[in-house]
Amino acid sequence: MSKYDFDLFVIGGGSGGVRAGRVAAQGGAKVGLAEEYRYGGTCVIRGCVPKKLMVYASGYSEAMDDAEGFGWTIGKRSFDWMSLRKKIDEELVRLEGLYRKGLTGNGVEVFDMRATIKDAHTVELADGRTFSAKTILVATGGRPYLPATKGIEHVMTSNDVFLMDELPRRILVVGGGYIACEFAGIFNGMGSEVKQFYRGAQILRGFDGEVRGHVADEMIRKGISLHLGTDVMEIEKKGKELHVTCTNGSVSVVDAVLYATGRIANTQDMGLEEVGVKIGRRSEIMVDRYSKTSVASIYAVGDVTDRVNLTPVAIREGMAFVETVFNDNPTAMDHEMIPTAVFTQPEIGTIGYTEEDAREDFDIEVYRAAFRPMANILAGRDERALMKLIVEKASQKVIGCHLVGPASGEMIQMVGIAIKMGATKADFDRTVAVHPTAAEELVTMKEPVR
């Protein structure tokens, strides 16, 4: 009989923690899991799932415009925010129920409250109960970061968007990362007047330079008022309006301000440093390649480690943790060549090296196609798609792919398989095109750009 109450205690009921807890329990481990808010974590409750549903909703305004170009007569239009919010809420309740059932149905004991760490083998719940555990897994994710700007108490973050009681007529989005750009597109598509401030020279830092410029141009074309090199100095509430003073002295009057200026790990007041767990500069838990912290019995996965902050990565890290700790099969998550999508409007799909980073490390060739998708022609829409392949000259391996346009997220999943397998440009070239599709451009780019 074990001297511990649990073989594994998981703190955090998001995608990574739930997967690790469930799979460990399926293998026979006695598992406890504590979650202080809702099961499903950032992705399911206040991130990718509700956001993607909002992206779909916001896209219908353009779809109805496009339909008229194909002979459809569209009548009176209106958008009901609360109707959408109600449907999204119902879907989140359904998904949260599945997460909870996946845990309890496999024997995991769940605790609907906050948990902190007392020592290397002990957790304490918010109600004062303590439990011992042979292994502790921290999977508490991240939270939005807010700077110390005057009037910051008047803003909302991405956590709050899904709880709004009404759609703002005028909104300012502050930030230039993918979350800020996605929400700028969502609000614009739903009919809000959108301004976006970003203090940098171009949005989407870290993405391929040409992709960044292409998406910025299309966002502006769609009606978003994008202000680069601009930051907020002060926010003042006057009645129901917010008066925002920016760095050039101008004042914007809006109904809501959304801050999307980065995220930091949820490690505050958990007792981690007190028991010897090393914490990084961005509050992240420092781990080795097997997700083990500086304390041998404590591991961490997902956004709380600030490695690659994506839901599927957290799930894979959770699976690798179970293999390592419970199946005696040391397994490190492979963080290289991870495909990802950004649901800006237009959509981005990307994997591997950007052109800029590749030029620093390799002698490369770049293949590019920029074109007007077929559906846009009859619709009378000028929006163009962009596709890029980054090829290492010596090996002819495709080491990067960047897509902007319809269904880029779907395409990059399939392209990601090929690139992860080490496909060469010749492999792409000898693949027969599927016509007529946008994706066929990926296998018909014959000459590198000069």
* Residues catalogued as catalytic: 435
Give the whole-angstrom CA distance, residue 64 versus residue 74: 7
Give me the count of residues in the chain. Answer: 450
Hey, what amino acid is at 27? G
User: Could you give phi then psi for residue 69, rounded to 5 degrees?
Assistant: -70, -15
> Residue 9 has which token pair?
């205690």
Euclidean distance between CA atoms 103 and 75, whole angstroms: 47
Helices 81-104, 15-26: inter-axial angle, 10-degree rounding? 30
Q: What is the DSSP letter of 330?
A: -
Angstrom CA distances, 51 to 100, 181, 264, 392, stand at 21, 12, 19, 36
**Distance (Å, whole) CA 233 – CA 251:** 10
Coil, strand or helix at 365: strand
The pair of three-digit structure tokens given for residue 186, joined into one six-digit string: 């969502």
Using alpha carbons only, how large is the chain's radius of gyration in Å?
24
CB environment 94-115: b (16+ within 10 A), e (fewer):
ebbeebbebbeeeebbbbeebb
Determine the Cα–Cα distance for residues 97 and 266; give it in Å rounded to an integer: 24
Q: CA-CA distance, 28 to 42, in Å (whole number)?
A: 28
Beta-sheet strand order (sheet of 170-174): 225-228, 193-198, 170-174, 256-259
* Alpha carbon distance 386, 344 (integer Å): 14
Answer yes or no: are the C-beta atoms of 17 and 10 closer than 8 Å.
Answer: yes
Instruction: Return the structure tokens found at 216.
Output: 């910025």
Q: In 3D, which of 329, 187, 352 has the Cα closest to residue 256?
A: 187
**What is the Cα–Cα distance from 58 to 65, expressed in whole angstroms?**
13
Judge whether 225 and 195 are in contact, CB under 8 Å.
Answer: yes
CA distance 175 to 181: 8
CB atoms inside a 10 Å sphere around CB 446: 8
**By the 8 A CB rule, do 169 and 193 touch?**
yes
